[in-house]
Protein backbone atom coordinates (compact mmCIF):
# COMPACT_ATOMS: atom_id res chain seq x y z
CA UNK A 1 0.00 0.00 0.00
CA UNK A 2 1.57 3.26 -1.14
CA UNK A 3 1.34 6.51 0.71
CA UNK A 4 2.54 10.09 0.21
CA UNK A 5 6.11 9.21 1.24
CA UNK A 6 6.40 6.58 -1.51
CA UNK A 7 4.85 8.91 -4.07
CA UNK A 8 7.23 11.72 -3.19
CA UNK A 9 10.28 9.43 -3.41
CA UNK A 10 9.13 8.12 -6.77
CA UNK A 11 8.54 11.54 -8.31
CA UNK A 12 11.14 13.89 -6.84
CA UNK A 13 14.85 14.28 -6.18
CA UNK A 14 16.45 16.91 -3.93
CA UNK A 15 13.68 16.44 -1.36
CA UNK A 16 13.70 19.22 1.23
CA UNK A 17 12.52 17.90 4.58
CA UNK A 18 12.10 20.24 7.55
CA UNK A 19 11.93 19.23 11.21
CA UNK A 20 10.23 21.44 13.77
CA UNK A 21 9.09 20.95 17.35
CA UNK A 22 5.30 21.00 17.84
CA UNK A 23 4.17 23.79 20.16
CA UNK A 24 7.28 25.91 19.58
CA UNK A 25 7.89 28.81 19.82
CA UNK A 26 4.28 29.17 21.03
CA UNK A 27 1.75 26.48 21.81
CA UNK A 28 -0.62 27.53 19.02
CA UNK A 29 2.13 27.77 16.35
CA UNK A 30 2.12 24.12 15.21
CA UNK A 31 -0.33 24.43 12.30
CA UNK A 32 0.94 27.91 11.38
CA UNK A 33 4.43 26.45 10.96
CA UNK A 34 3.12 23.58 8.81
CA UNK A 35 1.05 25.85 6.58
CA UNK A 36 3.86 28.35 6.03
CA UNK A 37 6.50 25.67 5.39
CA UNK A 38 4.33 24.08 2.71
CA UNK A 39 3.62 27.48 1.17
CA UNK A 40 7.37 28.18 1.19
CA UNK A 41 8.24 24.98 -0.69
CA UNK A 42 9.05 22.24 1.86
CA UNK A 43 8.51 18.76 0.38
CA UNK A 44 8.26 16.74 3.60
CA UNK A 45 7.66 17.71 7.23
CA UNK A 46 8.81 16.06 10.45
CA UNK A 47 6.60 17.09 13.35
CA UNK A 48 8.63 16.73 16.55
CA UNK A 49 6.74 15.45 19.59
CA UNK A 50 8.32 17.27 22.55
CA UNK A 51 10.01 15.13 25.21
CA UNK A 52 12.05 16.10 28.23
CA UNK A 53 15.02 13.94 27.20
CA UNK A 54 15.14 13.79 23.37
CA UNK A 55 17.60 11.32 21.82
CA UNK A 56 20.66 12.59 19.89
CA UNK A 57 19.42 16.17 19.78
CA UNK A 58 21.74 19.12 20.22
CA UNK A 59 21.07 22.14 22.44
CA UNK A 60 18.82 24.02 19.98
CA UNK A 61 16.28 21.21 19.62
CA UNK A 62 16.54 20.28 23.31
CA UNK A 63 15.69 23.86 24.20
CA UNK A 64 12.72 23.86 21.82
CA UNK A 65 11.45 20.64 23.44
CA UNK A 66 11.71 22.19 26.89
CA UNK A 67 9.87 25.33 25.77
CA UNK A 68 7.11 23.36 24.03
CA UNK A 69 6.51 21.27 27.15
CA UNK A 70 6.46 24.43 29.28
CA UNK A 71 3.95 25.86 26.79
CA UNK A 72 1.70 22.89 27.56
CA UNK A 73 2.19 20.67 24.50
CA UNK A 74 1.13 17.03 24.92
CA UNK A 75 0.57 14.18 22.47
CA UNK A 76 -3.19 14.47 22.99
CA UNK A 77 -3.16 18.21 22.28
CA UNK A 78 -0.92 17.75 19.24
CA UNK A 79 -3.39 15.30 17.68
CA UNK A 80 -6.15 17.79 18.42
CA UNK A 81 -4.18 20.58 16.69
CA UNK A 82 -3.57 18.38 13.63
CA UNK A 83 -7.10 17.04 13.20
CA UNK A 84 -7.92 19.31 10.23
CA UNK A 85 -4.40 19.59 8.80
CA UNK A 86 -5.29 17.71 5.59
CA UNK A 87 -7.85 20.33 4.59
CA UNK A 88 -4.96 22.52 3.44
CA UNK A 89 -1.79 20.44 3.34
CA UNK A 90 -0.93 17.47 1.11
CA UNK A 91 2.82 16.97 1.70
CA UNK A 92 3.93 13.87 3.64
CA UNK A 93 3.83 14.36 7.42
CA UNK A 94 6.01 12.27 9.73
CA UNK A 95 5.70 12.24 13.51
CA UNK A 96 9.15 12.19 15.09
CA UNK A 97 9.12 11.14 18.73
CA UNK A 98 11.10 9.35 21.39
CA UNK A 99 9.47 6.04 22.29
CA UNK A 100 8.45 7.20 25.79
CA UNK A 101 5.65 9.67 24.83
CA UNK A 102 4.25 7.14 22.35
CA UNK A 103 4.18 4.39 24.98
CA UNK A 104 2.53 6.76 27.46
CA UNK A 105 -0.21 7.39 24.90
CA UNK A 106 -0.33 3.71 23.91
CA UNK A 107 1.57 2.50 20.84
CA UNK A 108 -1.45 1.16 18.98
CA UNK A 109 -3.59 4.17 19.93
CA UNK A 110 -0.84 6.47 18.65
CA UNK A 111 -0.72 4.67 15.27
CA UNK A 112 -4.51 4.63 15.06
CA UNK A 113 -4.66 8.38 15.68
CA UNK A 114 -1.93 9.00 13.08
CA UNK A 115 -4.03 7.12 10.52
CA UNK A 116 -7.15 9.04 11.56
CA UNK A 117 -5.57 12.44 10.90
CA UNK A 118 -3.75 11.11 7.82
CA UNK A 119 -0.14 11.25 9.01
CA UNK A 120 2.14 9.21 6.74
CA UNK A 121 4.97 7.95 8.90
CA UNK A 122 6.92 7.72 12.15
CA UNK A 123 10.50 8.30 13.20
CA UNK A 124 11.30 6.81 16.62
CA UNK A 125 15.07 7.21 17.03
CA UNK A 126 15.36 5.19 20.26
CA UNK A 127 13.34 2.17 19.07
CA UNK A 128 15.92 -0.50 18.12
CA UNK A 129 15.31 -2.25 14.81
CA UNK A 130 15.11 -5.70 16.43
CA UNK A 131 12.46 -4.56 18.93
CA UNK A 132 10.55 -2.78 16.16
CA UNK A 133 10.44 -5.91 13.99
CA UNK A 134 9.46 -8.19 16.88
CA UNK A 135 6.84 -6.06 18.64
CA UNK A 136 5.70 -3.05 16.61
CA UNK A 137 6.13 -3.48 12.87
CA UNK A 138 2.81 -5.28 12.40
CA UNK A 139 0.95 -2.47 14.23
CA UNK A 140 2.65 0.26 12.19
CA UNK A 141 1.92 -1.49 8.90
CA UNK A 142 -1.69 -2.29 9.86
CA UNK A 143 -2.29 1.47 10.07
CA UNK A 144 -0.67 2.21 6.69
CA UNK A 145 2.27 4.07 8.23
CA UNK A 146 5.93 4.06 7.20
CA UNK A 147 8.49 3.69 9.98
CA UNK A 148 11.65 5.61 9.09
CA UNK A 149 14.75 4.16 10.76
CA UNK A 150 18.07 5.91 11.34
CA UNK A 151 21.44 4.50 10.31
CA UNK A 152 24.68 6.11 11.46
CA UNK A 153 28.38 5.70 10.65
CA UNK A 154 28.56 3.50 13.77
CA UNK A 155 25.92 1.07 12.38
CA UNK A 156 27.33 -2.26 11.18
CA UNK A 157 26.71 -3.35 7.59
CA UNK A 158 24.59 -6.19 8.99
CA UNK A 159 22.36 -3.74 10.91
CA UNK A 160 22.05 -1.44 7.91
CA UNK A 161 20.92 -4.37 5.76
CA UNK A 162 18.40 -5.34 8.45
CA UNK A 163 17.02 -1.78 8.44
CA UNK A 164 16.80 -1.88 4.64
CA UNK A 165 14.94 -5.19 4.73
CA UNK A 166 12.28 -3.79 7.08
CA UNK A 167 11.85 -0.38 5.44
CA UNK A 168 9.25 0.67 2.91
CA UNK A 169 10.02 4.33 2.27
CA UNK A 170 13.40 5.88 2.93
CA UNK A 171 16.27 5.30 5.32
CA UNK A 172 17.27 8.25 7.49
CA UNK A 173 20.99 8.58 6.94
CA UNK A 174 22.65 10.32 9.89
CA UNK A 175 25.51 12.26 8.31
CA UNK A 176 27.93 11.74 11.20
CA UNK A 177 28.18 10.43 14.74
CA UNK A 178 27.67 13.84 16.38
CA UNK A 179 24.42 15.24 17.81
CA UNK A 180 22.19 17.46 15.69
CA UNK A 181 23.63 20.80 14.73
CA UNK A 182 27.14 20.03 15.98
CA UNK A 183 29.29 18.33 13.33
CA UNK A 184 32.41 20.30 12.43
CA UNK A 185 33.73 17.74 9.87
CA UNK A 186 30.48 17.45 7.97
CA UNK A 187 31.81 17.01 4.43
CA UNK A 188 34.44 14.36 5.14
CA UNK A 189 32.29 12.30 7.50
CA UNK A 190 29.24 12.44 5.29
CA UNK A 191 30.91 11.57 2.00
CA UNK A 192 32.77 8.60 3.53
CA UNK A 193 29.52 7.23 4.97
CA UNK A 194 27.60 7.89 1.74
CA UNK A 195 30.15 5.87 -0.25
CA UNK A 196 29.94 3.03 2.26
CA UNK A 197 26.15 2.92 1.97
CA UNK A 198 26.29 3.09 -1.81
CA UNK A 199 28.48 -0.01 -1.86
CA UNK A 200 25.79 -1.93 0.05
CA UNK A 201 23.31 -1.54 -2.87
CA UNK A 202 20.34 -0.88 -0.61
CA UNK A 203 16.76 -1.21 -1.86
CA UNK A 204 15.51 1.97 -0.19
CA UNK A 205 16.58 5.54 -0.95
CA UNK A 206 18.42 7.64 1.64
CA UNK A 207 17.51 11.06 3.00
CA UNK A 208 20.26 12.70 5.02
CA UNK A 209 19.93 14.49 8.34
CA UNK A 210 22.22 16.09 10.97
CA UNK A 211 24.50 18.99 10.09
CA UNK A 212 22.48 20.40 7.19
CA UNK A 213 21.90 24.06 7.86
CA UNK A 214 21.60 25.94 4.57
CA UNK A 215 21.30 25.67 0.79
CA UNK A 216 24.98 24.82 0.38
CA UNK A 217 24.98 21.85 2.78
CA UNK A 218 21.58 20.75 1.42
CA UNK A 219 22.91 20.69 -2.16
CA UNK A 220 25.95 18.77 -0.93
CA UNK A 221 23.92 15.89 0.59
CA UNK A 222 21.63 15.75 -2.44
CA UNK A 223 24.62 14.64 -4.55
CA UNK A 224 24.67 11.39 -2.56
CA UNK A 225 21.09 10.96 -1.34
CA UNK A 226 17.48 11.64 -2.28
CA UNK A 227 17.26 14.72 -0.09
CA UNK A 228 18.19 16.45 3.12
CA UNK A 229 16.59 17.16 6.49
CA UNK A 230 17.06 20.51 8.21
CA UNK A 231 16.29 20.65 11.91
CA UNK A 232 18.41 22.75 14.26
CA UNK A 233 19.01 25.60 11.79
CA UNK A 234 15.29 25.90 11.11
CA UNK A 235 14.30 25.73 14.80
CA UNK A 236 16.92 28.38 15.48
CA UNK A 237 15.44 30.61 12.75
CA UNK A 238 11.98 30.20 14.30
CA UNK A 239 13.24 31.53 17.62
CA UNK A 240 14.69 34.70 16.10
CA UNK A 241 11.59 36.60 14.96
CA UNK A 242 8.34 37.65 16.60
CA UNK A 243 6.31 36.63 13.54
CA UNK A 244 6.51 32.90 12.78
CA UNK A 245 5.37 33.18 9.14
CA UNK A 246 7.94 35.90 8.40
CA UNK A 247 10.74 33.92 10.09
CA UNK A 248 9.89 30.89 7.95
CA UNK A 249 9.73 32.90 4.71
CA UNK A 250 13.09 34.48 5.50
CA UNK A 251 14.70 31.08 6.16
CA UNK A 252 13.13 29.30 3.18
CA UNK A 253 13.85 31.93 0.54
CA UNK A 254 17.36 30.47 0.05
CA UNK A 255 15.76 27.30 -1.40
CA UNK A 256 13.67 29.09 -4.05
Of 111, 90, 105, 94, give the one whose Cα is nearest residue 35.
90
3-state SS class at 69: helix
Q: Which of 29, 43, 57, 189 is catalytic?
A: 57
46 catalytic, yes or no?
Answer: yes
SS3 per-residue string spanning 219-245: HHHHCCCCEEEECHHHHHHHHHCCCHH
164 catalytic, yes or no?
Answer: no
3-state SS class at 167: coil
* 86 DSSP assignment: G
Q: Which of 2, 35, 39, 46 is catalytic?
A: 46
* 140 DSSP assignment: H
Q: How far apart are CA 29 and CA 25, in angstroms?
A: 7
- Give catalytic residue positions: 46, 57
Amino acid sequence: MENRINNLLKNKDNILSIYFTAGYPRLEDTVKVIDQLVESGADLLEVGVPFSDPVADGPVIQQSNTRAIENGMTVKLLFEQLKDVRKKVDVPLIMMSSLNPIMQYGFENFCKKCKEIDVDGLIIPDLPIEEYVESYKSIVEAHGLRNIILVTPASTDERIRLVDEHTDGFIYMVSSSSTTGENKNFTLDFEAFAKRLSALNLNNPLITGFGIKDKMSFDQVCKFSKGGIIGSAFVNALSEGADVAESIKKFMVQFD
